[in-house]
Homo-oligomer: A and B are copies of this chain.
Amino acid sequence: MLKVPPHQVAGHEAVNGKLGPLVDESGRFYKPLQGDERGSNEVAFYISLSTNSGIPEHIQRFFPTFYGTQLIEASDGSGLKPHLVLEDLARGQVNPSIMDVKIGSRTWAPEASQKYIEKCLKKDRESSSLPLGFRISGLQIFRSKGLGFWKPGKKAAQKLSTEEVKLVLRRFVSSNTLNDLDLEPDCALASTVYGGSTGILSQLLELKAWFEDQTTYHFYSCSILVVFEKELALEGSNPGAQIKLIDFAHVYEGRGVIDHNFLGGLCSLIKFISEILTAPNECKTEVSAKDGQKNLINTDNGVVADQENFVNSGNGVVADQENLINSGNGVVADQKNLTSTDNGVS
Residues of A within 8 A of B (CB): 105-106, 110, 125, 130-133, 162-163, 166, 212-213, 215, 255-258, 260-261, 263-265, 267-268, 270-271
Given contacts A130-B110, A212-B267, A261 and B105 within 8 Å (CB-CB) = yes
- Report how far A131 CA is from B220 CA in the complex, Å: 13
Give Cα A163–Cα B215 distance, bound, in whole angstroms.
13
**B residues within 8 A CB of A260?**
105, 132-133, 264-265, 267-268
Pairwise interchain contact B131-A257, C-beta atoms closer than 8 A: yes
Q: List 7 A-B contacts (CB under 8 A).
A: A133-B257, A162-B257, A163-B256, A257-B268, A260-B267, A260-B268, A264-B267
Known contacts A110-B125, A110-B130; A258/B268 CB under 8 A:
yes
Measured between alpha carbons, how far is A121 from B84 in the docked complex, in Å?
A: 36
| A255 and B133 contact, CB distance less than 8 A | no
In the complex, chain B residues whose CB is within 8 Å of the CB of A261: 105, 133, 264
Given the known A-B contacts A105-B106, A106-B105, A130-B110, are A263 and B257 also in contact in the complex, defined by CB atoms under 8 Å? no
Q: A268 CA to B260 CA in the complex, in Å? A: 6
A258 to chain B, nearest CB (A): 5
The answer to whether A267 touches B258, judged by C-beta atoms less than 8 angstroms apart, is yes
A255 to B289, CA, bound (A): 14
For the complex with contacts A166-B256, A258-B267, 18 further pairs of A-B residues with Cβ separation under 8 Å are A105-B106, A105-B261, A110-B130, A110-B131, A131-B257, A132-B257, A133-B257, A133-B258, A162-B256, A162-B257, A213-B271, A257-B268, A257-B271, A260-B264, A260-B267, A263-B263, A263-B267, A264-B264
Give A252 Cβ to nearest chain B Cβ, in Å. Answer: 10
- CA A264 – CA B260 in complex, angstroms? 4
Contact B215 A271 (CB under 8 A): yes
Closest 3 CB pairs of A and B: A264-B264, A260-B264, A133-B260
Query: CA separation between A105 and B258, bound complex, in Å?
Result: 12
Give Cα distance in the complex from A260 to B132, angstroms: 8
| Interchain nearest-CB distance for A27 vs B (Å) | 35
Smallest CB-CB separation from A166: which chain B residue?
B256
Q: Which residues of B contact A265 (CB under 8 A)?
A: 260, 264
Q: How far is the CA of A263 from the CA of B256 in the complex (A)?
A: 18
Q: How far is the CA of A110 from the CA of B106 in the complex (A)?
A: 12
Collect the chain B residues with CB atoms within 8 Å of residue A212's CB.
267, 270-271
Give chain B residues whose Cβ lies under 8 Å from the Cβ of A270: 212
A110 to B177, CA, bound (A): 34
A162–B132 touching, CB < 8 Å: no
Question: How far apart sit A215 and B286, CA to CA, in the bound complex (Å)?
Answer: 15
CB closest residue in chain B, given A213: B271
Give the one of A106, A163, A257 with max B CB within 10 A. Answer: A257
Q: How far is the CB of A292 from chain B (nearest CB, A)?
A: 10
**Measured CA separation A264–B268 after assembly (Å):** 10
Name which residue of chain B comes closest to A214, CB basis.
B271
Bound form: Cα–Cα A265–B262 in Å: 11
- CB of A199 to closest CB in B, whole Å: 19
Cβ of A162: which chain B residues have Cβ within 8 Å of it?
255-257
Give the nearest-CB partner of A212 in chain B. Answer: B267
